[in-house]
Each structure stands twice: as structure tokens, then as C-alpha cells.
Amino acid sequence: MKVGDKQYQSIWLNADDNRIINIIDQRLLPFEFKILSLETVEDVFYAIRDMALRGAPLIGVAGAFGMYLAALEISNRSNPADHLRNAARYLSSSRPTAVNLDWALKKQLELVGRDDSKEILVKKLLENARNICAEEIEKCRLIGESGLPVIEKISRQKKEETVNILTHCNAGWLACVDYGTATAPIYLAHDRGIKLHVWVDETRPRNQGARLTAYELGEHGVPHTLITDNAGGYLMKKGMVDLVLVGSDRTGSQGDVANKTGTYLKALAAKDNNIPFYVALPTSSIDRSIINAEDEIEIEERDPEEVSHTEGYLEGEIVKVRLCPEQTKISNFGFDITPAHLVSGLISEKGIVKASKEGINSLFTE
Ligand code: MRU
């Protein structure tokens, strides 16, 4: 997608030195646009843990490139396969909820032959990381194609009046290398001339909506309005929302969806107001080993300081301010589970399916 006049992805291999992975530092957006260089497995671990990069599909792709960097770090003294297995374990521990990370690490480990030399492994893991990256981009492009009819239908029903879409967090190109998941149908519909407008939830505590989604939509010229996380229910009741479109960090085998905390409340409000609630996701965000999502998906608990403080821009600087009394006890669950019965459909690269066991299974039969 474009930033100014330039085309960007959220992660890429450095064109001059292929031992370097570049990312956009998402902790500074929209105030500063800074490119970071990741040169070691540790760099990738901290970039994921500290959310310099974030969003389920991007975390997966970063993990794949992290494994390539791990192959470059194989020394004469280590057993290559053991070294890579340890690197995968280490990267996997950076953040727990998005399944894309383990999915991509597994895809890399599957390639590791017991007797492979360092040179062979470097070559294999680089090639595979590039393929995983390209495939994730293509999946997001296809999610756009799959989801477009949903927006077109509402536009027709409204006699081409503006379609109002509510989204939560950032499931845009920054979270996904390119196009985004929830935003892919939005960008496509907008580019095809459908009149639409997006309600952007600010998404406390890290404000991915206010900082990243508003930034992305603004750069692409998509009309949008930033709202507080709690305003969605009121807007839905007032008939100001036609569709809710969100992403997913992990979707279980029964169609239950783990996504950024607050998603569940939007789904409840959508149900009560008869508003379609769709989840856009690549199949790499599906974890078929999960039967009971509520019990089995690990919900990340993050630093209390994300809640007690907030970050903003003041006189040319990013500053942090405290929001509550110093000793206040804080809870900071990063994600929640939206049960399948509240989801109108899953928009994947292979089309739209029901949020159910049958729907999920149909995505995995050739
Ligand atoms: O904590 P984050 O910013 O990594 O959260 C992930 C998300 O951006 C959302 O939950 C998103 O909807 C899924 S990723 C496309």
C-alpha cells in the first residue's frame, strides 16, 4: 500500500544486504515513519514482543524470516537442526495469542533435514520465508475479493448511499504485510467507487485503531471517523452502522474467534441490532487443534503500564502520561473470544464460510 507516493509493505528483505530484514516501526506511527533493521533472531523476538511489528499475519511472516536469520547464526559448534528448533521455541515465546507465528515456525521447521548443512538451510529457509510472505500478501488480496460482495450487496440495498463499516483494532496492511484482512474488502470497494465510510474504534490500550487504522485509511483516502471503543453500540442502535468487519488472531476449529479485546462486545451489540458481523482472516490464522476456544486459547496479558498510561504527541515528541492514581491495580487482557454464533461469516482467501466446524473444514478440503 502507499505511504505518500511510495509503495510499502510492512516487512521486506533489504535490497542491498539480504542478511537484513526491514520493518516499519509501528510503535512510532503515525507521528514518525521509521524503518528498522532486524539482523538477529533476538532482534526479531524483541520486535514482536515489544510490538515494533504486530498483527497476526505479520507476526507469522516475521517469525519465518526470524528462522532464516537463525540459520545464518548456525555456528560450527552447534547441531543445525537443534539450533533451529531452539530458535523456533524462542521466537514462539515472544507473543502467545496469534497462531500465525507457530504456523510459520512449523512451516520452516518442516524443511529442516537432519543432515542439512548451514548453507543448504540458509538457502531453504530464506526461500521459504519469501514464499510465506508472498503467499500471505496474495491471501489478503483474495480476502478483498471474497469480501467485496458483502459490501456491494449492502450498497445496492442502500441504493448506492454510503455504506458504514465499523472496525476494531488494526487489521490493515500494517498488520498483514499488504492489503490487510478486514481492510482488504474496504480498500477494494473504495477503489471500485463504492461509497463507504469507516468507523474506527480507537482500541485502547495501545490505540491501534487511532494510530494505525486511521493512518492507513487516511493515506489511502478512505473516508473514516475515529470513535471511542464504547461508542459502537450507540451508533449501531442509531442505524449508523451497516456492517462490522474485524480481523482474527486465532480462530478455533468450531469457528470461535480470538481477536483484540473488545471485539466480543462489538459482536454482541451487532447481534442485538441485527447488523452483520464478519471476521476476515487468512487460513493461516485458523488453529484446528482448538476445540474449546474459551479454555484453550492463551490470552496474552500485557504490561499494566499500557492501561495506566497513554501515549500521544506533544510539541514534536511522543510522550507518555499517567491516567490513574499511582497505586491502582490494573488488568490488561489483550484479546477476547467471540463465540461462533455471533459471527455472520468468515471471509477467507478461499471465499466466505460459516463460522462453524463444517465451514472451517470446508476451507481445508482441496
Ligand atoms: O496486539 P496486536 O496489535 O498484534 O493485535 C492484533 C490485531 O491487530 C488484531 O487483533 C487484528 O484484528 C488481527 S491481526 C489482522
Q: What is the pLDDT of residues 258-296, one digit of tens each?
A: 999 999 999 999 999 999 999 999 999 999 999 999 999
Q: 360-366: which pairs have CB atoms within 8 A and are 24 or more residues apart?
A: 360/251, 360/253, 360/254, 360/255, 360/286, 360/288, 363/283, 363/286, 364/283, 364/288
Q: Is 0.85 surpassed by the pTM of this model?
A: yes
- Band the pLDDT of 2: cuts 50, 70, 90: confident
Segment 213-222, tens digit of pLDDT: 999 999 999 9
Mutation test of ligand 1: which of 29, 166, 176, 249 has the most ligand atoms closer than 8 Å to its C-beta?
249
Angle between helices 56-72 and 118-157 (to 10 degrees): 170
- Judged against a pLDDT cut of 80, whether residue 302 lies above it is answered with yes
**What residue ranges in 133-195 does DSSP mark as E strands?**
163-167
Give the pLDDT band of residue 141 (cuts 50, 70, 90): very high
Say if residue 120 is exposed, middle or buried (CB neighbours under 10 Å; 0-12, 13-18, 19+): middle
Residues within 6 Å of ligand 1 by CB: 54-57, 169-171, 175-176, 181, 208, 246-249, 259-260, 334
Q: Is-catalytic flag, 229?
A: no
Q: Give per-residue pLDDT as tens, 9-26.
A: 999 999 999 999 999 999
The one-letter code for the residue type at 257 is: V
Q: Do residues 294 and 255 lie in contact, with contact meaning Cβ atoms separated by under 8 Å?
A: no
Ligand 1 centroid, distance to 249 Cα (angstroms) = 6
- In ligand 1, the atom with minimum distance to the C-alpha of 51 is 4
Question: Which residue among 249, 256, 287, 336 is the active-site one?
Answer: 249
CA distance 279 to 197: 18
Residue 119 vs residues 80, 154, 169, 197, 247: alpha-carbon distances, Å: 10, 54, 41, 51, 38
Nearest protein Cα to ligand 1, atom 9: 260
